[in-house]
Structure 1
Amino acid sequence: MLRKSEIADSTTHEPHETRWKSLAHLLVDRAARHPDRPALTFLPDDSMDGAEAEQALTYAELHRRVRAVALRLVRETGAVPGDRAMLLFPPGLEFMIGFMACEMARLIPVPTSYPKPGRAMPRLDTSVADCQPSVLISDQETIAGIDSNRLSAETAALPMVATDASIQEDLARPDSLDDELPLGEIESTDLALLQYTSGSTSDPKGVMVSHANLLSNLESIRQAFGIEWSGDDSDDYERGLFWLPPFHDMGLIGGILEPLYVGGHAILMSPRSFLARPMRWLRAISDYKATISGAPNFAYQLCVDRIDAAQADSLDLSGWELAFCGAEPINADTLQQFTDRFFNAGFRGETFCPCYGLAEATLMAASCRSGQAPRLLDVDKDELAHGRGIIVRQSSLGETVPEASQASVSGDGAVRRLVSSGRAAHTMTVLVVEPDARRVQPDGEIGEIWLAGPSVASGYWKREEVTAEVFGATLADGDPAETFLRTGDLGFVHDGEVYVSGRRKDLVILRGRNLFPQDIEATVKGLLQANVLQCAAVATTGRTGDALTIAAEVSRHVDSEELPDIVRHIRRAIIDDHEVDARQVLITRPGGIPLTTSGKVQRQQCRAMIEAGELAARYQWNRNRFIDDSESVALPELPTRVTREEVPEATEQITVWLLAWLSAHSGEQIHEDGERPVRNASLTPETPFAETGMDSLTAVELSSELEDWLGIELTPVLAFNYPTSSRLAAYLAETLAGGPEQDAAGDIQSDIEASDLSPEELEALLSEIENDS
């Protein structure tokens, strides 16, 4: 149990901050105290090579533009204090103009995903239906590109205000007009933000975040990260650089509002810019001397996979003081690989700051402290499954692990390495509770993580019942008036630090994206109609992290020879609807999937049965093996580490693997009667993939399988960019060796001159990032 943070605030206290009741008051104060300091800078995709100029606003310019748009909202829209305002912006500075204008006009901003010109926007429509806004705020180009026929009637009927309709006039408006704004009426209990949680578009939940919640969490972040207040006249201020979208709570609060809170400079780039060329992110940190940046775990892994040693050594990351990591499970190997790759550039392991949080707690709930290498625990995997965090070994990031210390427990010595999420944030109480008994667990015992403190939001918008369930938990032996937020996450406390071990709730989190299992199950049920009796979508543990597994009960009337096609149709439908591929699909007989007494699917028990091999399958497909025509065999060996001298040998080795895989490209298929697929013996290294019958589904399967075996992140368009086994093998061997040899120093920056991603691949990756929270 962690009753608030015991870490004293070592940073300088600034008395001005005690006067702020809201973000609007903060901006007015900052603009008056350091008007000429840069507040926001946006780096367009082509700005890194000088083709496009950066966009920037000082605190005074930001204040003037925000004030002018707020006046237009008050005068022209009919919106009144407390009304909701949808924010629909592409990457850039205009989002913050609209967001802060809402704060000044005493409206409640509701961030939504990036606009899709001429396309339907279901997340926007469902949020509009839920919160009933009075206005939609955007920029002129986005408004012009909206196809009202692709929106719900409710969304299409909203009045729309463009923040950039009169920029020069806005900058010239006199300060006396501030009197028309309701600044004096803003209370700390007013809602500063309605943050819709990610996942199900059919059941959106808007988290009600007040000004008090937001300012409390910003102070918690400042103290955890050891950020000093910026002096009024000093040029020594914090510089944060971020690419996360501003409708993501980490992107908005951690990436934009925190630098503004301390009087610093927020430098922004688009997710597309990062995903196309990860080097852009680190090059910008290097060039702009950013002190703070952060992202989910997958972003650091992407940098390791796509930035070679020569490119890494061209950077200067010595000024990067804090690299936070959160929003998804944190992999210790990723943190170590990133540290090793960028060590010569000045990056150190103690720069990493893993943290834990969620939108319902505004953002941060627990965090490691600045300047301390993250702590790691190796725990017994079997004991962990039984609710106990039995520690095999303790270490810190970067610490050498002696071979002799790899102790064997539970027979085979299987361990799982957990990264500490640090101590409770400032003023936050973190408890680990046995959820059924509602009693606090002792250290080392796993339970549900419960939170309390001034950063915890008041609940979900117009969802009284679920608010009472999630935000109103009480301890069996505690004060009934003391309520807690139930996070749905599982973890334990060790030496005063929080270790997150899993999820009690059923969310499937892949690459930082929250997938609601009921949405995926609805896709399967809609596809199979009466032929499916029950369906469960769960996250199972694989070699490279969590992956999606589908279990479906089908009618006895479905013939066995139909099952391979059914699995293929299931996977294709899930890819089409949710843009993710399953690693495993199991078809069971009726009664195979565990249910509650009331008939609900028990997803956690189903997951445990699948991982233990106890779920009897009539037929199953797995992405990580294949079966030949006589017996189960392992795939041919694949290299995982390749030197420049070994590239030819690795190319040949990968070619053999690809030909073997293509001969059985439907994956592992196991029938109860032992029937096996037949290999294709006519393939050669130069056979075009198109002639093998490869379609988009097979391409997804191939890239996913290679990713599993090689341990590097790949994408489905690989098979189309390198359309034969020999060409794809050569590319993969070069990638494993650190990329093609470079003939000139100028080639070091090839990563930021030409993307190796196609437009289709970028869209697929962006669809994973561009989900709220």
Structure 2
Amino acid sequence: MLRNPASAAQVTSHWPSLPHLLSGQAQRHPDRLALTFVEDDGRHRTLTYAGLHDRVMELCGRIGEVMGERSPPEISGRDKLPDEIMEPHSGERAILLFPPGLEFIIGFFACQYSGLVPVPTCFPKRGRAMPRLESAVHDCAPKLLLADAETLAGIDPNRVNAAVNSLPSVATDAIGGDQWTADVSARLALIKTTDLGLLQYTSGSTSEPKGVMVSHANLLANLESIRRAFGLHRSDRADEPHCSAVFWLPPFHDMGLIGGILEAVFLGGHTTLMSPRSFLAKPIRWLEAIAQSGATISGAPNFAFELCLDRISRDQAAGLDLSRWNVAFCGAEPIAVETLDRFAAHFAVAGFRSNAFIPCYGLAEATLLVASSRGSSIVPRLLVDRDDLSRGRATPVPDHHPPNQTRTIVSCGEPCAGMQIEIIAPDRRTRLDEGQIGEIWLQGESIAQGYWKREGVNSHQFDAHIANDDCAGGFLRTGDLGFIRDGSLYVTGRSKDVIILRGRNHFPQDIEATVQRALGDDMVKCVALATNAYVGEALSIVVELPRHIDGTLLPNLVRRVRRQVIEEHEIDPRQVVLTRPAAIPVTTSGKVQRSACRQMLESDEIPTLYDWSRSILIDQGVSEQLPALPQRVDEDSRDAASQQIQAWMMAWLIHRSGMDPRDVGPETRFTDHGLDSMAAVELSGELDDWLGVELTPAVAWNHPTPATLAAYLADEMAKATPH
């Protein structure tokens, strides 16, 4: 057992709910900045605590009108509003559909003030199908859709189902109505600690979505646990210094919402936000915002730190001041100790200290944070025997042990205050000894109430009992594997099949269904797997083909698979293996054995007809292998510059996509090169870094091939050159 000595009672916040918290902060610090959003063009939009509260109040009035409450003039001036007026929709759900910005958090708090449960959902690309929105709407049956006016106008009614089309909607930024005049204290009195404050759909399966029911008590307990674990301080008095944070994670992501936004509100601090696209295009923007704001807190998944290493030179790093960045937490996906060590060394010139790193373990079912670790001079880690690890035991080995026989695992440290961690043999439900690997079970005040309308699953997953221990019940089964050593938690993998890439969960069944749609009768069966990569995990897909498939079609089959997976899931597989029937291991009932298939794939034991792969190492230092880009373009050199840029893009595509150079042409559309959303943003960011010409989504849409985009960029550079 691993338990923080702080009791559950000690982590309970003195605020009954998040609306009580916001109301209190607006009264104590009306003029203090709460949120700043940095647009891609550098413009800043800000809200003070009073300004945020006023916007929330205004939106509450319009929500009430749409939801059937009496108009504000009729209900104003009462000491206490009748329940039939105040709670006609208490506990109903409202979908939040927002691009990065400040409108999301206004809608989030307005829902809670109005008795609605906010349901954040993934923001879609304009004009695209919205499977995550549709699956959430089908599952939780919301009564309202909240979005900004531009998003509502961009929903194509022909690309969403009837349930979405029939939802009444409110544009949060369509300000103009009367200020909501109801008594705030009367409304707050109706909000209970046990009410749901959030329905968090895990970023995974669209075919079987699971909405995690998070109460106000869960949220506030976890926010207090984060405060303690990270050594943060509330600034209750106006003259006290307050915390400053910077985040680019999307607000529908639990780390972005709870760790990035709500924690700063909880502390009375200030958060600077930017869009994920802004960070991905130019990772230095994230670190510049930290340096310029003097932020002390920021964090991200492992891949973000790796991207900074790949895209920020040592000279650029030297121009930053990261000396005040005291809390750099890392979580949401497997943590590579090599990444954190390299980041600390690379940015030491900027004043970054390695002991700022806080590796974390958490999950939505526990609200967010479960455990965290803080090192002294280096990130805490343990070197263990690789073979023993596969046998279910972590055996420490000395540093001089052969590297190919070891694995370094980052420590996730102690559990949060009030959290209890048990390592359990899942088949027997018995406790395991220190160093033995089992399923991680949790118990504590931050554990959510279960999944929305999943009673059967909830009794199994949220109310698990340890065998032969009548007192040990009510545990959350995480599905994650790990062990305890010297009072610290180490996470080694997952017993469930979920694939975590760039901090997002992807269910293999969804990806396999996508491959089935892409290939139809051209496949027998397939399996989607998370396989080891240099800086984390990557997606591999194995496809069984019919016996008499035409061998000349194999490259085209891979392209079809990649294009469909990228379109529907916005991830590019690292590997697609085409094989013969019966190559994928299955159970006696015909169920795919993903774990066995993963072992066969990593051991090169699967017979292949065609193996397409993009080595993760290709991504490291690509710029050094590419042809030069023009530094200056005028009217006379415009055509030559266009050819240079075109050659650079084609070489970048070959490196990034792993395609055969013979398949990459100047007139081939970028979508045919298999670029996922992150790779497309990386391409635009690198070109912007070199050429100084901003590549917006509209520009990329209007110039969809290397030839047309290169000509556009050369024209723009020529226009910018003084004559």
Name the TM tier (shorter chain).
Answer: 0.7 to 0.9
Q: Compared with structure 1, are the counterparts of its residues 313 and 168 closer, same or farther at alpha carbon in structure 2 (3 Å cutoff)?
A: farther
1:120 aligns with 2:119: no
Number of matched pairs: 659
1:588 aligns with 2:579: yes
Give the Å deviation of 1:107. Answer: 0.9
Counterparts of residues 334-733 of structure 1 (less than 5 Å): 334-369=339-374, 373-393=378-398, 405-408=399-402, 413-479=404-470, 482-560=473-551, 562-624=553-615, 690=665, 696=670, 699-700=673-674, 715=679
Partner SS state of residue 510, structure 2 = helix
1:86-134 per-residue CA deviation (whole Å, 9 max, x = no partner) reads: 1122222111111111111111001112254444322112211111111
Instruction: From 20, 31, 34, give the equivalent of 1:39.
Output: 34
C-alpha distance in 2 between matches for 1:367 and 1:762: 41
Give the Å deviation of 1:245. Answer: 0.9
C-alpha distance in 1 between matches for 2:208 and 2:334: 24
Given that 1:318 and 1:347 are in contact with CA atoms closer than 8 Å, whether structure 2 keeps it comes out as yes
Given that 1:490 and 1:500 are in contact with CA atoms closer than 8 Å, whether structure 2 keeps it comes out as yes
Specify the alignment match of 2:140 in structure 1: 131
Counterparts of residues 98-113 of structure 1 (less than 5 Å): 98-113=107-122
Specify the alignment match of 1:143 in structure 2: 152
Given that 2:524 and 2:543 are in contact with CA atoms closer than 8 Å, whether structure 1 keeps it comes out as yes
For normalisation by structure 1, the TM-score amounts to 0.78
1:394-423 per-residue CA deviation (whole Å, 9 max, x = no partner) reads: xxxxxxxxxxx4223xxx743222111111
Specify the alignment match of 2:224 in structure 1: 219
Given that 1:123 and 1:201 are in contact with CA atoms closer than 8 Å, whether structure 2 keeps it comes out as yes
1:178 aligns with 2:172: no
1:472-495 per-residue CA deviation (whole Å, 9 max, x = no partner) reads: 222122227612211111111121
Q: Compared with structure 1, are the counterparts of its residues 277 and 762 closer, same or farther at alpha carbon in structure 2 (3 Å cutoff)?
A: farther
> 2:665 corresponds to which letter in structure 1?
A
> 1:21 corresponds to which letter in structure 2?
P
Give the Å deviation of 1:160. Answer: 1.2
C-alpha distance in 2 between matches for 1:129 and 1:290: 40
Specify the alignment match of 2:632 in structure 1: none
> 1:364 corresponds to which letter in structure 2?
L
Give the Å deviation of 1:563. Answer: 4.0
Deviates most, 550-559 or 341-350: 550-559
Specify the alignment match of 1:273 in structure 2: 278
Specify the alignment match of 1:58 in structure 2: 48
> 2:366 corresponds to which letter in structure 1?
A
1:206 aligns with 2:211: yes
1:638-695 per-residue CA deviation (whole Å, 9 max, x = no partner) reads: 989989xxx9xxxxxx99x979x89x9766xxxxxxxxxxx98xxxxxxx9527x976
C-alpha distance in 2 between matches for 1:473 and 1:66: 39
Q: Compared with structure 1, are the counterparts of its residues 469 and 18 closer, same or farther at alpha carbon in structure 2 (3 Å cutoff)?
A: closer
Partner SS state of residue 540, structure 1 = strand
Q: Which runs of 5+ in 1 are unaligned?
A: 394-404, 626-634, 648-653, 668-678, 681-687, 705-712, 723-730, 732-749, 764-773
Give the Å deviation of 1:7. Answer: 7.2
Partner SS state of residue 228, structure 2 = helix
C-alpha distance in 2 between matches for 1:66 and 1:263: 17
Give the Å deviation of 1:718. Answer: 8.6
Give the Å deviation of 1:313. Answer: 1.3
For normalisation by structure 2, the TM-score amounts to 0.83
Give the Å deviation of 1:76. Answer: 3.5
Q: Compared with structure 1, are the counterparts of its residues 153 and 568 closer, same or farther at alpha carbon in structure 2 (3 Å cutoff)?
A: closer
> 1:26 corresponds to which letter in structure 2?
L
C-alpha distance in 2 between matches for 1:7 and 1:372: 26
Deviates most, 296-305 or 145-154: 145-154
Given that 1:699 and 1:716 are in contact with CA atoms closer than 8 Å, whether structure 2 keeps it comes out as no
Give the Å deviation of 1:218. Answer: 0.6
1:519-561 per-residue CA deviation (whole Å, 9 max, x = no partner) reads: 1211222333344332211111134432222222233333555
C-alpha distance in 1 between matches for 2:543 and 2:487: 42
Partner SS state of residue 491, structure 1 = strand
Given that 1:448 and 1:491 are in contact with CA atoms closer than 8 Å, whether structure 2 keeps it comes out as yes
Given that 2:66 and 2:168 are in contact with CA atoms closer than 8 Å, whether structure 1 keeps it comes out as no
Give the Å deviation of 1:719. Answer: 9.0
Given that 2:107 and 2:146 are in contact with CA atoms closer than 8 Å, whether structure 1 keeps it comes out as yes
> 1:324 corresponds to which letter in structure 2?
F
Given that 1:277 and 1:755 are in contact with CA atoms closer than 8 Å, whether structure 2 keeps it comes out as no
Give the Å deviation of 1:246. Answer: 0.7
Given that 1:115 and 1:142 are in contact with CA atoms closer than 8 Å, whether structure 2 keeps it comes out as no
C-alpha distance in 2 between matches for 1:506 and 1:188: 34
C-alpha distance in 2 between matches for 1:303 and 1:338: 8
Q: Compared with structure 1, are the counterparts of its residues 158 and 387 closer, same or farther at alpha carbon in structure 2 (3 Å cutoff)?
A: same
> 1:63 corresponds to which letter in structure 2?
H
C-alpha distance in 1 between matches for 2:215 and 2:340: 34
Given that 1:537 and 1:548 are in contact with CA atoms closer than 8 Å, whether structure 2 keeps it comes out as yes
1:196 aligns with 2:201: yes
Specify the alignment match of 1:80 in structure 2: 89
Given that 2:120 and 2:200 are in contact with CA atoms closer than 8 Å, whether structure 1 keeps it comes out as yes
Q: Compared with structure 1, are the counterparts of its residues 55 and 370 closer, same or farther at alpha carbon in structure 2 (3 Å cutoff)?
A: farther
CA RMSD of aligned residues (A): 3.7
Given that 2:330 and 2:357 are in contact with CA atoms closer than 8 Å, whether structure 1 keeps it comes out as yes
> 1:381 corresponds to which letter in structure 2?
R
1:157 aligns with 2:188: no
Given that 1:362 and 1:455 are in contact with CA atoms closer than 8 Å, whether structure 2 keeps it comes out as yes
